[in-house]
Every structure is written in C-alpha cells, then in structure tokens.
Structure 1
Amino acid sequence: MIRTEPLTGAAVTAVLDDLARLRISVFRDWPYLYDGDLEYERNYLRAYESPGAVVVAAWDGGRMIGAATGAPMEDHADDFAAAFAGRPEPLDQIFYCAESVLLPEYRGRGLGHVFFDGREAQGRALGRRFSAFCSVIRPADHPARPADYLPLDGFWRKRGYAPLPGVVAEFEWRDIGESTQSRKPLQFWMKKL
C-alpha cells in the first residue's frame, strides 16, 4: 500500500538521507544523467529545512519510493534570480516546485498529481500567487536519449503550466561519464495558483 504525506520542518530533516539516495538513483536516468554523491546531496537538500519548504513523500511500507520538493522561490534566489530578472512576478510571490523523483516501477499511478497537489497547496498556504518549476533542456539528438522517451510537457500543460519564454536558468552538475561538472540550461514553467 502506497502512502503519501507532506513533510515540513523537522520531519523534512528526518528524511533527507532517504531523499538524497532516491535523487541519486532517479536522476541517473534521462534527461538528467546526474552522477551524484551523498555528500553533495546532503548539502543541497538543506535548503528544504527552511520555513515554508515542503517534501511530499511517497512510501511503500517503510521505503521512500518517490518525493517532490518545494520551497519559497526566494530560498533559491541565488540560483534563479537572474532568470526572473525581466519578469513582472516578484520572487516572493512564487512557490518553487523543485524536483520530483519517483522510482520507475511506481510511475503511472497518479503520484505525479499528488506531488504537484501537495506543493501547490503549500504555496497557497504561504499566500503565493504563482507556482513554478524548471526542466532540464537536452538536445533532441543527444546520444543518451532513449528511443521511447516521452517528455512530460503534456502532463505539465494539463496541470495549467506553460513555459516562460526566455526564462532559462543554468545549473551545474556532473553527467555520467564526465570528470567535471558542466552547466545545463533549465526552462522555467509557471502557472497562477
């Protein structure tokens, strides 16, 4: 039986190692191709210990099988402020729906909606007017792209999100097979809450 729950505050801290391991596993796949390590993940995930942050976790028994993170956009201002510099929406009115990770064998069961519902509810509870997330941009002819890959654009559009023209951030991570980190473009999507 799969159960889901939104976690905040100390409850987030209690699951950070589970979340880190899950992110390393899921993000190795296309389109992220992330070659992560536990120490980097622990440092990165500390952002979700902030007031206003949420982790919507999915469990199968005692095992975390999926999770989605979210936080006030200003918690990520250093990373994303430049991308939003020309936008009319103030950062303190945006709730950032960060990563969603779900083990492949649990996909197609509606958990993506649960993840967005939980994060959007947190954004509304904080009085935010907008919800935004970003997706990695990879070339269509990338050699690691699976032949059967289906982008999630249709799912996101059905939830009311649309890409923001020109609102692209860059973030560094090490791809599988790389010896150093490289910058990746990330397209922002947004909707009104």
Structure 2
Amino acid sequence: MEYKVYRDENTIEKFQFLAQIRLEEFVKFPYLYQGSMAEEKEYAKEYQVPGAILITCSVAGEDIGVISGYPYQWNQGKSAEVEAELATMGIAMDEIYYIGEVILIEKYRNRGIGKQLEKMLVDTIKKDYKYALVITVERSLDDPDRPEGYHYKNGLREGTGFKRLKNEIIYHWPVKRKSGIREEENVVSVWVKPI
C-alpha cells in the first residue's frame, strides 16, 4: 500500500479519481447519488481552499481509496442550527476540520485501509484543529430502496469517539431511485469529536 498526501491547490491533481470513485460508490444506498462530472467539478471547488487535504491509497500504482477534508470554516453558513449547537458546546468554527469522505473500492474494504486513511488525516491536522466533523447520510427504515438487511454503520462513528449532534443538515442532490432519477432533500447527520 502506498499513501500520498495532496494539500491546498494540489488536491486538484487527484480530482479525476475523487470524482470517479464518488460517482461509482455514492450511487449505492444510502447516498443514491446520481451525479455527473459537471457536478463533481463544482464540488471540487470546495477543495480549492487553504488547508484542504486529500490522501490517496494505491496498490501497484492503482488508486483504490481516498479521504478528503478541509477546514470547516469554509463550510460556514450551511446550517445555522448546527453552528449554533456547536457554539453551545464551546466549539468555534475555526477549531473544526471537516472530513468530507472516506471512500474505498469495494474489494479493498474491511482491511483497515479506511481507518489508516482517517488516522493519517487526523495526524496531519491535529496540531492546527481541535475537532473533526463528519456527516453521514441516513434514510428512513421504510425507504423503498433500502436493500434487505441493510444496517446503518453509525456504531463505527460512535466507536471512534464521535458524538452525534441533535441538529441535521439538508442537502439537495439528484437521487437515483428504482422509480427514476429526481432531485431530493437528503438529511445528513452531523458527528463531531475532539482530536
């Protein structure tokens, strides 16, 4: 396994891989994201900020996983309720680092690679930030597109010290349902932990 860190404007070097893996993996439940390369190019702009980090993992020269993030202050204003809740916890926006995603090609999952990517990112940021923040997509238990036997993996977040906030954020994105593709409101849970 080879890990490589990209920072600030250099994150764009791995944009194609990040976009590709997001389009392939996030179409699955619970994300059901039916994006396009044009939408991914727009999303990539979030990583063109000071403090952005993208770490890849490769095997024999082939990228198989990625973690990304940037200082949460660049996300400020997306949810007044979440920001107010963080403030009541005594957490300032400039103390938080947002971990955008940890994605692995399916055949490389459950080998500890995701944990290693997250550890590398946290080790890189902990001298400058006090908290890590992640979001998870959740859909109702009776969602018609929920695969049989599907269980949310929130225990993974709780088991690594993250605390779920009471408030959630709603994002809009194109969702691929069995009934077709449509723009939907998607509720995400917010998790934070000291680092």
TM-score by length of 2: 0.90
1:172 match: 172
CA distance in 2, matches of 1:96, 1:9: 14
1:75-128 Cα offsets, whole Å, 9 max, x none, are 111324442223321111111111121111110010121122122223313x21
1:45 match: 44
1:58 match: 57
Alignment pair present for 1:163 and 2:151: no
RMSD (CA atoms):
1.7
1:99 match: 101
For the 8 Å contact 1:4–1:56, the answer to whether it is kept is yes
Q: Structure 1 unaligned segments of length 5 or more: list them.
A: none
Aligned amino acid, residue 176 of structure 1: K
For the 8 Å contact 2:95–2:131, the answer to whether it is kept is yes
Alignment pair present for 1:67 and 2:69: no
Alignment pair present for 1:15 and 2:17: no
For the 8 Å contact 1:79–1:171, the answer to whether it is kept is no
Q: Structure 2 unaligned segments of length 5 or more: list them.
A: none
For the 8 Å contact 1:17–1:42, the answer to whether it is kept is no
CA distance in 1, matches of 2:101, 2:145: 21
1:24 match: 23
**Change in 2 beyond 3 A, CA 1:36/1:142:** same
| Percent identical residues | 24
Question: Moved runs in structure 1, 4+ residues, more than 6 A?
Answer: none
1:3 match: 2
Aligned length: 190
For the 8 Å contact 1:52–1:122, the answer to whether it is kept is no
